Amino acid sequence: MHAPPLPAGIGRVIDAPEQMAPFVRDWSGHRIGTARCVVQPGHTDEVATLLRWCSAHRVPVVAQGGNTGLAGGATPDASGHAIVLSLARMNRLRAVDLANNTMTVDAGMVLQQVQEAAREADRFFPLSLGAQGSCTIGGNLSTNAGGTGVLRYGNARELCLGLEVVTPAGEVLHGLRGLRKDNTGYDLRNLYIGAEGTLGVITGATLKLFPEPAARVTAMAAVSSAAQAIHLLSLGQQLLGAELTAFELMSAYCVELVGRRFPDTPRIFADAHPWYVLLESSDLQSEAHAVERFEALMTTALDQGVIVDAAIAQSQAQSLQFWQLRERIAHAQPRNIKHDISLPISRIAEFLGTMEAVLVQAYPGIRIVALGHMGDGNLHYNVEPAQPLAQADFEALEQRVHRSVFDVVEAMAGSMSAEHGIGSAKTGDLRRYKQPLALALMRSIKHALDPLGIMNPGKVLPEG
Ligand code: FAD
């Protein structure tokens, strides 16, 4: 705890408790830690100076971007030993290479600013998620974020060609190359992506850019079952190909919750249906072309009995309304037990049926809030207790429900963390469900890249 004073040349230091408060608690407000101080470097050199000092004095470092992560990865523990390294001041656009379709940015650039900078360059950066006004590209890469465009463009990993990383020893790995082919040995970039700040600090990234679609059109479909939603996905991919850029599933209960919490939400269908799908098509020709293609898809789906009703957005405003319905689900749910899981798409309907039967039998009265990026096999499968519970009872139930859900996910060859990562929230589950050999190899990598164990200790890898 008694390290010498911080060195010069590390940027802004915040150590007043009230100013540190937003940096030591997570987005949900449920995880709260403490820290020695918060440091906000302005340049890569300042990050390197800080990490050299942290290594010399064995001071743990918690890298933090927008602090929107949902697994507790950016929150320091309660010991007060760690320094929170906030990338917030490192938010510059470094370069755009139009011929190469790439853009190089500081890691602390907010995702929405990255999207806007791409648009100003007449290009499109497709990573898109509910927290995009606050989360940073460094955080997106460190959690390998997914979001709503994965179906067509892949997750953060697939959108990154190069990284600049500061190692725990304070050395700078210069990997900002915009290469689509580079087979020169082990892929270090891909080790840092998804590492949740446990191996080094990402300070810059070279990102892939795409042509800006001429039009983005959204549609809603009502389906009688999750199995029919999967048929619609296949049909959509067959008829729209790469134009189909989002495919989001929502249960009737999700829509009911949004209606209750946000009564101004417009009603899309006259009748209620068991499931809804939000589809987005990105068209390189025109809006009229996109609408025409969507109409053809929906007509075929209706004729084949795959869907029971459909609405194609008639304006950008209506498209936004459809997306707003989807995004409001996150804010409309009462406190519930959350799971961010993925499954082979072919097993999603089976999972939903099996899981609900197991849970309803074990815990009568519970409600399932099921939604997700179904086109990527990713479900946000949340379980609402039958009645409000005291904290200790909630946590006890949470443990049991997690176990039931993850056991079924594992039996169906799925993943218990699709896009939110492990952080501090799921280290125990990782120990339970990851193959021991995979865990041992992960520990070897951690030891090789962070031999002193100062990078985000206690996150991702279970202790012991
Ligand atoms: P932080 O929360 O600050 O950090 C996350 C992790 O990355 C921590 O472990 C931290 O130590 C590490 N880290 C941060 N920056 C760096 C860096 N520069 N170098 C090394 N390590 C670093 N996620 C999805 O994948 N898909 C979604 O659709 C989605 N929707 C969301 C909607 C809402 C409303 C909210 C609140 C969150 C959502 N998330 C989603 C989760 C979250 O926004 C993402 O995980 C995001 O990528 C985190 O970025 P951040 O900058 O906020 O990172």
Residue-wise pLDDT tens digits, 270-282: 999 999 999 999 9
| Residue 29: C-alpha distances to residues 21, 86, 202, 421 (Å) | 11, 18, 25, 18
Cα R_g (the chain), whole angstroms: 23
Q: How far is the CA of 271 from the centre of ligand 1 (A)?
A: 37
d(CA 326, CA 278): 8
Residue 39 pairs in a beta bridge with 13, 85
CA–CA separation, 462 and 431 (whole Å): 6
Q: Which of 106, 129, 426, 460 to mutate to test the pocket of ligand 1 (most atoms within 8 A of CB)?
A: 129
Residue with CA nearest ligand 1 atom 1: 67
Q: Indicate if the pLDDT at residue 143 is higher than 60.
A: yes
Mean pLDDT across the stretch 201-218?
96
Q: Answer whether 0.85 is exceeded by the pTM.
A: yes
- Are 421 and 144 contacting, i.e. CB atoms less than 8 angstroms apart? yes
* Closest C-alpha residue for ligand 1 atom 28: 147
Give the per-residue pLDDT at 461. 96
Q: Report which protein residue has its CA nearest ligand 1's atom 41.
A: 69
The answer to whether residue 231 scores a pLDDT higher than 80 is yes
Q: Distance between CA atoms of 406 and 414, rounded to whole angstroms? A: 9
Nearest CA to ligand 1 atom 46: 140
Write down the pLDDT at residue 284.
Answer: 86
The per-residue pLDDT for 80 is 96
2: β partners: none
Whether 3 shows a pLDDT value over 90: the answer reads no
Higher pLDDT pick, 314 / 11: 11
State if residue 433 touches ligand 1 by the CB under 6 angstroms criterion.
no
Average pLDDT over residues 138-151: 95
Kindly state if the Cβ of 11 falls inside 6 Å of ligand 1.
no
State the pLDDT at residue 2: 64
**Contact call for residues 339 and 402 (beta carbons, < 8 A):** yes
CA 331 to ligand 1: nearest atom: 34
**Atom 14 in ligand 1: residue holding the nearest Cα:** 139
pLDDT at 225: 97
pLDDT for 147-175, tens place per residue?
888 999 999 999 999 999 999 999 999 99
pLDDT at 31: 94
pLDDT at 422: 97
Q: Region 60-87: what's the mean pLDDT? A: 97
Residue having the nearest C-alpha atom to atom 42 of ligand 1: 69
pLDDT the model gives residue 147: 87
Pocket flag, ligand 1, residue 204 (CB < 6 Å): no
Q: Specify the pLDDT at position 4.
A: 84
**Per-residue pLDDT at 455 exceeds 90:** yes
pLDDT at 464 over 90: no
**Is the confidence at residue 1, as pLDDT, over 80?**
no
Instruction: Give the whole-angstrom CA distance, residue 441 versus residue 162.
Output: 24
Testing ligand 1's pocket by substitution, the residue of 27, 142, 376 carrying the most ligand atoms inside 8 A of its CB is 142
Atom nearest to 69 CA in ligand 1: 2
Q: Is 325 in the pocket of ligand 1 (CB under 6 A)?
A: no
Q: How many whole angstroms from 239 Cα to the centroid of ligand 1?
A: 34
- Give CA–CA dist 375/11, Å, rounded: 43
Distances (CA, A) of 372 to 247, 266, 348, 380: 9, 21, 11, 5
Q: Is there an atom of ligand 1 within 6 Å of 26 CB?
A: no
Determine the distance separating the centroid of ligand 1 and the alpha carbon of 459, expressed in angstroms.
14
Ligand 1 contact via 202 beta carbon (within 6 Å): yes
Ligand 1 atom nearest to 132, measured from its CA: 43
182: confidence class by pLDDT, cuts 50, 70, 90? very high
Angle at which helices 391-411 and 348-362 pack, to 10 degrees?
140
For residue 240, what pLDDT is reported? 95
Mean pLDDT, the chain, rounded, equals 96
Q: How far is the CA of 295 from the centre of ligand 1 (A)?
A: 36
pLDDT number for residue 184? 95
- Distance between CA atoms of 77 and 54, rounded to whole angstroms? 17
Summarize pLDDT for 329-370 with one digit per residue, the tens: 999 999 999 999 999 999 999 999 999 999 999 999 999 999
Q: pLDDT tier at 462 (50, 70, 90 boundaries)?
A: confident
Domains of the chain as residue ranges with CATH: 12-86 (3.30.43.10), 93-211 (3.30.465.10), 215-332 (3.30.70.2190), 340-411 (3.30.70.2740)
